[in-house]
Homo-oligomer: A and B are copies of this chain.
Amino acid sequence: MSENTKIPYKIYLSENEIPTKWYNVRSDMKNKPAPLLNPGTGQPMGFEDLRPVFCDELIKQELDNDTAYFDIPQEIVDFYKMYRPSPLVRAYCLEKALDTPAKIYYKFEGNNTSGSHKLNSAIAQAYYAKKQGLRGITTETGAGQWGTALSMASAYFGLDLKVFMVKVSYEQKPFRREVMRTYGASVTPSPSMDTNIGRKINAEHPGTTGSLGCAISEAVEVATTNEGYRYVLGSVLNQVLLHQSIIGLETKAALDKYGIVPDMIIGCAGGGSNLGGLIGPFMGEKLRGEKDYRIIAVEPASCPSFTRGKYAYDFCDTGMVCPLAKMYTLGSNFIPSANHAGGLRYHGMSPVLSQLYADGYMEAVAVEQTSVFEAATQFARTEGILPAPESSHAIRVAIDEALKCKETGEEKTIVFGLTGTGYFDLVAYQKYNDGEMTDYIPTDEDLAKSLDSLPKIG
C-alpha cells in the first residue's frame, strides 16, 4: 500500500508538458491501412481527388503513412491549454469497492463543454480550415457530441459552421442543439429542404425523421457547392486518429512520470477515434517490438463490427456517396436495433484499427448494454463522474478484468479511456433506472442481410 500513498488520485501534467507533436501510428505499421477508393472507379483516391471535399492540410495528414510525428500548431496548443492536459485518474474508490488487487487508471476526456474527446480533433480541423482561408465548414451530427465540439472550435476561430442534425435528434434531443447554437453554429434538421439530396429524400419519404447517412450527404453537398466551404468528419479517418493521439501521448507521459507500466489498455470503439488516440503510442511500442501490452477494443453487442463484421471495402455512409474504405464492417445499411442507447452505432471501423486488428495486435470484446449501464452506475457511485454510455463499455471490461485479478490475486495495471460524460444521455439512464432497458444481439441472419450490401470491390 506504500505505492498508493505516492500516486495521487489525479495525475495532471503541467501545461508545458502538453505534447507538441501528434503521433502517427501508421508510420510504425508494416501493413499500412488500405487506401480510400473512388466509389465510381474503384481507384485509390489521391490529394486532388479529395480536395473538393476536405481541407488541403488534412488530406495530407490523411494520406501520409510514413511521417511519425506532426507538429501541433501553436494556435491549437493554445486552445488545448483551455481544457488540457486532461487528468489520468487512479480509481482508488472503484478498486476498493471491487476489492481487487488490480490498479485501475482512467484517462478522463470529458472535462470540457463538448463532454468528450471529440474536441481534440474538432479544433485541429477548424484550425486548418481557417488557415486555408475558408469561410466555413459543414458536418453532420447524430445526438450532437461531434457537432458540439466542432461548434466550440469554429466559434474560437470565427469560422462559419453548418451542422446537419438527424431530424429525430434535432427534435427529441434539443439540448445539444442549443449548445451548438449558443456557440454560433447553424443547425439544420436533416433531411432539409436546403439541399438537392434533402429535397429528394423528403419527396420520396414524406415525414422521414432522417438518418446519419442522409445528414452526411447533405453536409457534403453544401460543402462542395458553396465557395469557401469544406466538409469535416469526427471519426474513422486517419487524420482523426492522428489528432486524437494527444490522449495516448498524455496518458503515457503521466504513467512514465510515476514509472507505471500498464498490463492492458482498454477503450470503447465506435468509429475508432478515441480508441485509436488512446492506444496510439502504446501500439507504436508494440509494433516496434519494444513493449507488449494487451490492447482491448470494447464494442456494443448490438453493433459488433470488430467481433462479427467482415474486413472488406465498404461505403462510409449509408447514402453511398463517400469514398470506400477497407474496414471491419457490418454493411453500410446496418442500423443498430431501436433499443440501442448512446453512440458506438457506426457500421464500420477506422481502417487503421481494422488493419491492426486483422494483424493480431489487438483484441475485441462485445458487451451488452444492460451490463454496460450496470458498470456505469457502479462507476458513478464510487468515482463520482457520471460516464457517457459509450465510455461505459470500457468501464464494463475494466471492471471485469479487475474482478478476474481478484480471483487470481494478480496486481495487474489496467488503463482505460473515460471518453466523456453522460449529462446528455439521461433518457437512457432513466430507462436503466426504471428497469426498462433491454438488450438485443443481432442474429446471424440480420448480419448476413446487411453484409449483403457490401460493394464488389477490393
Q: Which residues of A contact B (CB under 8 A)?
A: 8-10, 12, 14-15, 79, 81-83, 89, 93, 111-113, 115, 152, 155-156, 174-175, 178-179, 181-184, 377, 380-386, 421, 423-424, 426, 429-430, 432-433
A178 and B423 contact, Cβ closer than 8 Å, known pairs A12-B12, A113-B386, A384-B83 = no
A9 and B81 contact, Cβ closer than 8 Å, known pairs A113-B380, A113-B386, A113-B421 = yes
Partner of A182, one of B14, B83, B182, B380: B380
Contacts of A174 in B (CB 8 A): 426, 430
Complex CA distance for A424 and B9, rounded to whole angstroms: 28
Partner of A384, one of B112, B184, B430, B433: B112
Closest-by-CB residue of B relative to A387 is B113
If A82-B89, A181-B430, A182-B429 are given as contacts, then 13 extra A-B residue pairs at C-beta distance below 8 Å, sorted by A number, are A8-B81, A9-B15, A9-B81, A10-B81, A83-B384, A111-B111, A112-B385, A113-B384, A115-B423, A156-B384, A181-B433, A182-B386, A182-B433
Complex CA distance for A79 and B381, rounded to whole angstroms: 12
Could you pull out 19 A-B pairs where Cβ atoms are within 8 angstroms? A8-B15, A8-B81, A10-B15, A82-B93, A82-B383, A112-B385, A113-B385, A113-B423, A115-B423, A155-B380, A155-B381, A156-B381, A174-B426, A174-B430, A175-B426, A178-B426, A178-B433, A179-B426, A182-B381
Nearest CB of chain B from residue A160's CB, rounded to whole Å: 13
The 10 closest A-B pairs by CB, nearest first: A155-B381, A9-B81, A175-B426, A178-B426, A113-B386, A8-B15, A178-B430, A181-B433, A423-B423, A82-B384
Contacts of A433 in B (CB 8 A): 178, 181-182
Nearest CB of chain B from residue A330's CB, rounded to whole Å: 31
* Chain multiplicity (copies): 2
Complex CA distance for A396 and B113, rounded to whole angstroms: 20
Complex CA distance for A86 and B183, rounded to whole angstroms: 25
Partner of A423, one of B155, B384, B424: B424
Contacts of A81 in B (CB 8 A): 8-10
Residue of A93, A182, A380 with most chain B CB atoms under a 10 A cut-off: A182
Contacts of A15 in B (CB 8 A): 8-10
Complex CA distance for A423 and B425, rounded to whole angstroms: 12
Complex CA distance for A89 and B15, rounded to whole angstroms: 12
Nearest CB of chain B from residue A285's CB, rounded to whole Å: 29
Contacts of A385 in B (CB 8 A): 112-113
Contacts of A14 in B (CB 8 A): 8
Contacts of A184 in B (CB 8 A): 381
Contacts of A10 in B (CB 8 A): 15, 81
Contacts of A384 in B (CB 8 A): 79, 82-83, 112-113, 152, 156
Complex CA distance for A380 and B153, rounded to whole angstroms: 11
Complex CA distance for A377 and B9, rounded to whole angstroms: 33
Partner of A178, one of B8, B79, B183, B429: B429
Complex CA distance for A432 and B429, rounded to whole angstroms: 28
Closest-by-CB residue of B relative to A89 is B82
Contacts of A152 in B (CB 8 A): 384
Partner of A183, one of B179, B183, B381, B426: B381
Complex CA distance for A183 and B9, rounded to whole angstroms: 21
Contacts of A83 in B (CB 8 A): 384
Nearest CB of chain B from residue A177's CB, rounded to whole Å: 8
Nearest CB of chain B from residue A422's CB, rounded to whole Å: 9
Complex CA distance for A112 and B93, rounded to whole angstroms: 16
Complex CA distance for A386 and B156, rounded to whole angstroms: 13
Complex CA distance for A456 and B213, rounded to whole angstroms: 68
Complex CA distance for A259 and B82, rounded to whole angstroms: 22
Contacts of A155 in B (CB 8 A): 380-382
Complex CA distance for A345 and B275, rounded to whole angstroms: 44
Complex CA distance for A281 and B424, rounded to whole angstroms: 36
Closest-by-CB residue of B relative to A155 is B381
Residue of A82, A93, A152, A385 with most chain B CB atoms under a 10 A cut-off: A82
Residue of A81, A113, A433 with most chain B CB atoms under a 10 A cut-off: A113
Contacts of A79 in B (CB 8 A): 384
Complex CA distance for A112 and B89, rounded to whole angstroms: 13
Nearest CB of chain B from residue A445's CB, rounded to whole Å: 36
Contacts of A429 in B (CB 8 A): 178-179, 181-182
